[in-house]
Structure 1
Amino acid sequence: MSWIILFFAGLFEVGWAVGLKYTDGFSRPLPTALTIAAMAISLGLLGLAMKELPLGTAYAIWTGVGAVGTVIAGIILFGESMALFRLASVTLIIAGLIGLKVSA
C-alpha cells in the first residue's frame, strides 16, 4: 500500500509543479490555492509512505515520479522539447526508479 501512496504523492508533485506555471508568480488566487493544496497533499502522502518505506528510496522515487511526470506534462501542455537526449535522460530516470523499487 505504501508504494501506491508514494506513487500518488509523486502525481500530486506533478500537479503542483504544473500549477506553479499557472500561478503567474502567485498572483492568480485560484491556481495559487490549488497549487498549495497539491503541495500539501503531496507532502502528506510522502510522509505516510515513509512510515513503511526507507527514507532514501521513498524520497528518490517521489522526486523521480515528479520529474518524469513534469517532463511529460511540459511536453503535452506547454509544447516543450522532445529532443532525443532529453527523452533518453528521462528513460534513465525511469530505469533508476525501477531499480530502486526492485531493490527495496
Structure 2
Amino acid sequence: MAWFVLVVSGVLEAVWASALSASEGFRRRRPTVLFFVALALSMGGLAWAMTSLPTGTAYAVWVGIGATLTVVWGFATRQDRASTGKVLLLLLLVGSIIGLKAVS
C-alpha cells in the first residue's frame, strides 16, 4: 500500500508543479487552489509512505515520478520541445526509479 500511495503522491507532485506554473505567480485563482491542494496531498502521501519505506528511496521515487511527468506534460502541452536526448534521459530516470523499487 505504501508504494501505491507513493506513486499517487508522485503524480500529484507533477500536478502541483504544473499548477504552480499555470498560476502565474499566484495571480490565477483556480491553478493556485489546485497547487495548494495537490501540494498538501502530495506531501502528506510522501510523509505517510516514508513511515514504512526507506526515506532515500521514497524521496527519490517521488521526485523521479513528479519530474518525469512534469516534463512529459511540458512536451504534451508544447511548453517544452522533446528531443532524443531528453527522451533518453527520461527513460534512464524511469529505469532508475524501477531499479530502486526492485532493490528495496
TM-score between both structures, scaled by the size of structure 1: 0.96
Q: 1: distance between equivalents of 2:84 and 2:53?
A: 34
Q: Which amino acid aligns with 1:96?
A: S
Q: Where do 5+ consecutive residues of structure 2 fail to align?
A: none
1:2-81 correspondence runs (5 A):
2-81=2-81
CA RMSD of aligned residues (A): 0.9
Structure 1, unmatched stretches of 5+, are none
Tell me the amino acid that sits aligned with residue 66 of structure 2. Answer: G
Distance in 1 (CA, whole Å) between partners of 2:70 and 2:28 is 21
Q: Could you give the per-residue CA deviations for residues 30-87 of structure 1, whole angstroms, max 9, x where no partner exists?
A: 2111111100100000011111100000000000000111111111123421100011
User: Which position in structure 2 is the counterpart of 1:90?
Assistant: 90
Alpha-carbon distance in 2 for matches of 1:102, 1:8: 18
**Larger deviation: 22-31 or 42-51?**
22-31
3-state SS of paired residue (1:78): coil
Q: How many residues align?
A: 104
Farther-moved stretch of structure 1 (61-70 vs 75-84): 75-84
* Runs of 4+ deviating beyond 3 Å: none
The alignment's TM-score, normalised by the length of structure 2, stands at: 0.96
